[in-house]
Structure 1
Amino acid sequence: MNAFLDKMRFWIPAHAPAWAVKASFAVWIAYKNLTMPQQKKSFGPLNQDKTFYVIRLYPPASGFLADYNYVLGYMKNAYDHGWIPVVDMQNYQTLYNEDSPIHGTTNVWEYFFEQPLDPATGKRYTLEEVYQSKNVILSNGSDQFCNYTGDADPEVLKWQHEMYLRVPFKKELTDYIEKMRASIQIPADMDLIGAPIRGSDLGKRFYGHAIQTTTEETIELLKTRVEAWSHEDRKVGIFVNSEEQTAIDLVRERFTHVYCTNSVRFVNNESDKVNRVADLYNKISKYENILQYLTNIYLLSQCDSLFGTMNNGYYTAIIWNGGKFSHLETIDKGTYN
């Protein structure tokens, strides 16, 4: 996609009237389906008794956890058909591909996650092997197999958690998460309320996306939750995550036990000049940006309770938690129109 079209697909939902957004979405989906339909291919003689399903997203795809949740849906589709999924973010590039290999790979998926598991053999296949195999299906580049930022449907969350378990974190991500968790130094007798506060792109009008609570709204609501969700024998703290440093600072001013990572964040209204959180990679590399992002979302998923407004990060934390939150409360302010 050229730079102009990439810019327009973010400008239109932020500025155009609803009818124009709907029309442009319809045209865009039709164009993607026409130019990247599902296809059957034969690339070589290997694995003649297996069918592989190459998961590809229409370049340059979308925000990282939107991409991730698309992949979970494609994985379920593959398993439901008896196919073996493999994710290709190398030949079908995303917003997050680096110019040089990361951990020996140019496949963005493999920067952070293992390839999906073949339950029949316990094996994970490489792109190199798949592209030498006899039976290969290239996915449609834009299918959405569930509304992953709508209501947190228990049955949908169940299979999404199962898909998550089949694509575990790479060792480098796991090690980084553990390093960040240790640096926060959370007391053993402390229960945490996870409080994501989304600013930057989702703090502005973006058609169809959930309207986010402001920092002040979140703080006022948190006051009652800290009291209601406390236990007699345990302290209650807040793990706050935001790409806006101002939000972190305000929560720290209002509460005693506040924890966060030392991730790079927007300061001094920098996010007013960007369209998406991905533009943090102007401050750090794209890889480091997503490494920090995934770490914060995982730490949210491990809190005792979670409280916030729907977006891909918040929803992914719910998937990764697997239904273990003592309290889960989603604030619904409606969607932008």
Structure 2
Amino acid sequence: MYRIGLGAPSALRRPLLLVRDVVRVLGFYGGRQSRQYMRFVRECESRPGHLREKIAELDAKVAAGGPLSYYVMPSAGAKEGMFQQVNALVYIHLVMALLQGRVPVVDMQSEKNQYLAADKVGRENSWEYFFEQPYGIGLGSIPSRADVVHGHFRTHWGVWRGDPARAFGMRDETRSDLYMLCERFVRPNTTTARTIDEHRHALFSPGDTVLGVVIRETDYALQMEHHSPADGQIDYTAQIQGALRRHGCNSIFVATESRKVFDSVSAAFPGIARTNPREFYDRYYQDREDGRALVLADVRHDRENDEYLRGLEYVTTVFLLAGCDVLLGTRSGAFTAAQYLNGGAYRHVSTWA
């Protein structure tokens, strides 16, 4: 089923995708992959260096230029955020691919996602708008008769449980593997990397000690399973003040989707609160009341190429967050991703008390 949504004629794509999704819903494929994944995690824990050895073996196979096998990671879904995709890649799908000796390939092309315009489904891969493919091999480079395994997105899903390594049962000795996977395989493309670098230099001076703060409002008031308590219920100003004092930070980077929240932090900490230029999502409340939005993915900005720009703004925000010295805030995809993108270099990490 590798060619679903890619080489398959458009008339066939929809029914084939439906068949695949029915199989996934029934849980047969996902359950088998979940058991396989946990077996692989135990291998990593019991055999230090095993994952790195498998990567070295795959590197050699790719360099040799012979036949390869592939592992295709599916899109997180039409309304899921980019860092659900990234988190699942690092925690689950890279482990699944690499321990099987398969080249990982991210597919955000075959199905609609919030970073891909409807008329580009099946034609462009929105992962590649922002990131390099793990081995530089995209969907179009996979031979039609290649040995391909398709990942199941929610295989052993549990990325929202606080500490990134422990979220998947990984002990401290496995944590460095996560940092390595992230550094090696989650690589911004040239345009994204340049944007991140430009914003970093515009926002911070070399001597700054920065407190990164994640404040989610809007759809987090819905209290979904993986969400922290809505930040509107928290005195985050007092907690930011305490973190500044304890950790000697002289600057605050605010990662929030709400202009109201950013203005509030700026008023409380004049001259030291900063964020990167982007569209905010305060219109979510009115869109929700009008029946146009349930989650942030439903909100549309009145600008050309909104799907791409919302992704670029989000990716840039999280990479800037990962470059801070201390991390505080809402448990979320961005908060989790920032921890392993940071490589374990934060002085301190905590969610709201």
TM range, smaller chain: 0.7 to 0.9
Out of 275, 280, 292, the residue aligned to residue 265 of structure 1 is 280
TM-superposed CA distance for 1:242, in Å, is 0.9
TM superposition score normalised by structure 2 = 0.72
Q: Look up the match of 2:267.
A: 253
Q: Is the 8 A contact 1:58 1:92 kept in 2?
A: no
Q: Take 1:192 and 1:81, find their aligned partners in 2: how far apart are those partners?
A: 40
Q: Is the 8 A contact 1:113 1:170 kept in 2?
A: yes
Distance of aligned partners of 1:112 and 1:157 in 2 relative to their CA distance in 1, 3 Å threshold: farther
Cα deviation per residue 1:260-294 (whole Å; 9 max; x = unaligned)?
11211134654654322223433440110110011
Cα deviation per residue 1:63-120 (whole Å; 9 max; x = unaligned)?
2211221222111111011111111111233232124669xx7101111111113xxx
Q: Look up the match of 2:137.
A: 125
Quick check: 1:319 aligned with 2:313? Answer: no
Q: Is the 8 A contact 1:32 1:141 kept in 2?
A: no
The letter of the residue matching 1:196 is V
User: Which segments of 5 or more consecutive residues in structure 2 lack a partner in the other structure?
Assistant: 1-21, 34-64, 167-171
TM-superposed CA distance for 1:224, in Å, is 1.2
Q: Is the 8 A contact 2:79 2:298 kept in 1?
A: no
RMSD: 3.0
Q: Look up the match of 2:83.
A: 65
TM superposition score normalised by structure 1 = 0.75
Quick check: 1:307 aligned with 2:318? Answer: no
Q: Take 2:349 and 2:30, find their aligned partners in 1: how far apart are those partners?
A: 38
Q: Look up the match of 2:27.
A: 33
The ranges of structure 1 where at least 4 consecutive aligned residues each deviate by more than 6 angstroms after the TM superposition are: 35-39
Q: Is the 8 A contact 1:197 1:215 kept in 2?
A: no
Q: Take 2:282 and 2:78, find their aligned partners in 1: how far apart are those partners?
A: 27
Q: Look up the match of 2:315.
A: 294
Q: Identity rate of aligned residues, in percent?
A: 21
Out of 227, 231, 237, the residue aligned to residue 213 of structure 1 is 231
Number of equivalenced pairs: 285
Q: Take 1:311 and 1:155, find their aligned partners in 2: how far apart are those partners?
A: 24
TM-superposed CA distance for 1:323, in Å, is 0.5
Q: Take 1:190 and 1:167, find their aligned partners in 2: how far apart are those partners?
A: 26
The letter of the residue matching 1:236 is N
Q: Take 1:62 and 1:29, find their aligned partners in 2: how far apart are those partners?
A: 21
The letter of the residue matching 2:137 is Y
Q: Look up the match of 2:206.
A: 188
The letter of the residue matching 2:158 is N
Q: Look up the match of 2:198.
A: 179
Q: Is the 8 A contact 2:30 2:155 kept in 1?
A: no
Q: Look up the match of 1:237.
A: 251
Distance of aligned partners of 1:29 and 1:238 in 2 relative to their CA distance in 1, 3 Å threshold: farther
Q: Take 2:266 and 2:109, find their aligned partners in 1: how far apart are those partners?
A: 41
Q: Take 2:174 and 2:218, find their aligned partners in 1: how far apart are those partners?
A: 29
Quick check: 1:151 aligned with 2:165? Answer: no
Between Structure 1 and Structure 2, the one with more helix by share is 2
The letter of the residue matching 1:148 is V
What secondary structure sits across from 2:193 in the alignment? helix
The letter of the residue matching 1:67 is Q
Out of 122, 134, 147, the residue aligned to residue 146 of structure 2 is 134
TM-superposed CA distance for 1:249, in Å, is 0.6
Q: Is the 8 A contact 2:70 2:149 kept in 1?
A: yes
Distance of aligned partners of 1:141 and 1:328 in 2 relative to their CA distance in 1, 3 Å threshold: closer
TM-superposed CA distance for 1:182, in Å, is 2.8
Q: Is the 8 A contact 1:55 1:71 kept in 2?
A: yes
Q: Look up the match of 2:351.
A: 330
TM-superposed CA distance for 1:210, in Å, is 2.5
Q: Is the 8 A contact 1:37 1:140 kept in 2?
A: no
